[in-house]
Structure 1
């Protein structure tokens, strides 16, 4: 039996070399390249996630992190229902850049855009405090999760959780409390109306 089908656009934003492309390739193709070539402008991939009641086709826009491409970003996040703002957990400057992208997206992105702050490279030494990052999310109504494109930690679950959030919004369930345990407590995403963070 054919399931109901929704299609949603999502975008990845963040500094150069934080692992945006690696996250996408790990999710879509289950591949990881140690020396991933920098994205030029943006790249586009799709993947359909099947749930018991419906399917969600994610249109994933992976943007370049180099400063010279920043002016192009609005072209890619326009119309996006969701966004991963990615930083490198071993690099504090990339966390500051993530804050810039969050501010940019909230000011100029779609109303009600679902934002995940994604702390990538969790297999490396943590130089950005997880408690501080989580508190930042709490204060700004964002989801927070730590991932590793290299090990695969939380990569599939974070994309699946984004797809689930599209289900909630498409069915007007924003006020329904939701708590999701990812990968045997290796990461947790939780939230309720107006506060979507762990």
Structure 2
């Protein structure tokens, strides 16, 4: 069984950047809200970083998972944000540190470049990565393809799960005109949709067969399969933890997962 438990704190507190805690700043106390402390040593802290081209929906995926919330207005991420949901999978408790960072031009080749250009982003010591692209604009896949190549060249990616996520599934061929718009326009639209489907098939083949990475499609706008994104990632991480510790990491037949929503817990089949 897999479940995610909400933290009993306000939305404003969850949005706080806790960089200074990572530098040994101690306990942060906010007026009118409970204190936030670093994870105890008894918990397994899983550091997950989301990366992707501009406007692919990285922040929206996180906000749907944590708050069950979506904003139509596009606001570029200009600073790092961290989120701390807790997850139980196969009776094993994890605390997830989800990091949402501004778009990066390249993955740091070593710790010096990370410190110089991406201080406190935690890019090179992440437990796992979620690489997001826009299904309605498959050209955005090239960005994460380049980042992934740089990762492989600059750090040991063995036992580092990578999940590729195609977001905005709701926009696929949504602009297809009706028959009344003219046969020529309809034919052009159908041709464009066919080209898009072919590109998606090529992407799936590359990710699953050649990269040996997980792949999933979702819609952050309609909260479709957003929970499944983190369910898939945590199962990948738990399988690695199980193989390294020798415990049985076989995926359960009945799984449940929930994000921090308006209720304290939710579960899906």
TM-score range normalised by the length of the shorter chain: 0.7 to 0.9
**Higher share of residues assigned strand:** 1
Unpaired segments ≥5 residues, structure 1: 183-198
The 1-side partners of 2:123 and 2:242 are apart by 23
**Structure 2 residue 204 is matched with structure 1 residue 134:** yes
Q: In the TM superposition, what are the counterparts of 1:52-91 in structure 2 within 5 Å?
A: 52-65=90-103, 67=105, 71-72=117-118, 75-91=121-137
Task: Using the TM superposition, name which of 60-69 and 9-18 deviates more.
Answer: 60-69
The 2-side partners of 1:133 and 1:78 are apart by 25
Contact 1:58 1:163 in 2 (8 A): no
Contact 1:17 1:65 in 2 (8 A): no
**Structure 2 residue 51 is matched with structure 1 residue 13:** yes
| TM-score of the aligned structures, taking structure 2 as reference length | 0.59
Query: SS in structure 1 opposite 2:236?
Result: helix
Alpha-carbon deviations, 1:89-109, whole Å to 9, x = none?
Answer: 111321111101111222224
Shift of 1:56: 1.8
Q: Find the counterpart in structure 1 of residue 83 from structure 2.
A: 45
Q: Find the counterpart in structure 1 of residue 187 from structure 2.
A: none
Contact 1:56 1:163 in 2 (8 A): no
- RMSD (Å), alpha carbons: 3.1
Contact 2:80 2:100 in 1 (8 A): yes
Q: Find the counterpart in structure 2 of residue 100 from structure 1.
A: 146
- Which protein, 1 or 2, shows the higher relative CO under an 8 Å CA cutoff with sep ≥ 6? 2
**Structure 2 residue 167 is matched with structure 1 residue 120:** yes
Query: SS in structure 1 opposite 2:129?
Result: strand
Q: 1:102 to 1:181 in 2, by over 3 A?
A: farther
Q: Find the counterpart in structure 1 of residue 218 from structure 2.
A: 147
Which structure has the bigger radius of gyration?
Answer: 2
Q: 1:5 to 1:154 in 2, by over 3 A?
A: same
Shift of 1:68: 9.5
Task: Using the TM superposition, name which of 9-18 and 66-75 deviates more.
Answer: 66-75
Q: 1:148 to 1:140 in 2, by over 3 A?
A: same
Q: 1:103 to 1:114 in 2, by over 3 A?
A: same
Unpaired segments ≥5 residues, structure 2: 1-41, 109-116, 174-195, 256-269
Q: 1:110 to 1:64 in 2, by over 3 A?
A: farther
